[in-house]
Amino acid sequence: MSTTADDVWQLLAELATAQKETERRFQKTERRFQETDRQIQETDRQIQETSKEVKKVSKQIGALGGKWGRFVENMVAPACETLFLNRGIPVHQVSQRVKKRLDGKSLEIDVLVTNENHVLVVEVKSSLGVDDVKELIDDLREFRQFFPEYNDKQVYGAVAGIEIEEGADKYAYRQGLFVLAQAGENVAILNSAEFQPKVW
């Protein structure tokens, strides 16, 4: 069977139609790619905005946590005078946020209570946990290196919290630390009258 001119023209017409269909599909795919790209860019913009909002909220929470921590310290510090006087430890000075640097390291004490024979290091938390007690114990072990001016005094430790996580008070007690907590509108020592604090 021989190919006629009409057959060739019909074949060319079919090829032209197929090519137009292919181009139409390519254009449709290109539009989809462009739409997908636009959606990706929009999603990226939303992620960046969300990230900025998260950073902003985190900063606000951090500031609030810091203010709450200072509020708790301001509640505990003045109470220390009466509380420890009642335990036979007269108080001559109460200092807040005492910080010392040594060899590139620093040690910050929330509340420092002193008299001529004793120093009491108080760690204050809005929510006191076992890890906070362990951190204070580490600080007490290094205390005399950072504060050699108190080497001739007996050093005691205390933890204070508005909320005390389960077991944190018992753990602190067993480590020889005073435990202070909110009692109504005041602060109280939870340790029994027979409690003997550890000298660090």
Say how far apart CA 112 and CA 76 lie, in whole Å: 11
pLDDT of residue 60: 58
For 100, the domain range is 75-189
Residue 196, φ and ψ in degrees, nearest 5:
-110, 115
Say how far apart CA 133 and CA 126 lie, in whole Å: 13
175 inside domain: yes
CATH of the domain at 183: 3.40.1350.10
CB-CB contact of 179 with 157 (8 Å):
no
Q: For 129-182, how does the pLDDT look when each residue is reduced to its tens digit (9 = 90+)?
A: 999 999 999 999 999 999 999 999 999 999 998 888 889 999 999 999 999 987
99 inside domain: yes
29 inside domain: no
Q: For 32-78, how does the pLDDT look when each residue is reduced to its tens digit (9 = 90+)?
A: 888 888 888 888 788 887 777 767 665 655 555 455 556 567 677 87
40 inside domain: no
DSSP label at 129?
-
83 inside domain: yes
pLDDT of residue 6: 77
pLDDT of residue 108: 92
Number of domains forming the structure of the chain: 1
pLDDT of residue 72: 65
As a whole number, mean pLDDT of residues 101-111 equals 90
pLDDT of residue 52: 77
pLDDT of residue 135: 94
184 inside domain: yes
62 inside domain: no
Q: For 110-119, how does the pLDDT look when each residue is reduced to its tens digit (9 = 90+)?
A: 999 999 899 9
Whole-model pTM: value is: 0.62
65 inside domain: no
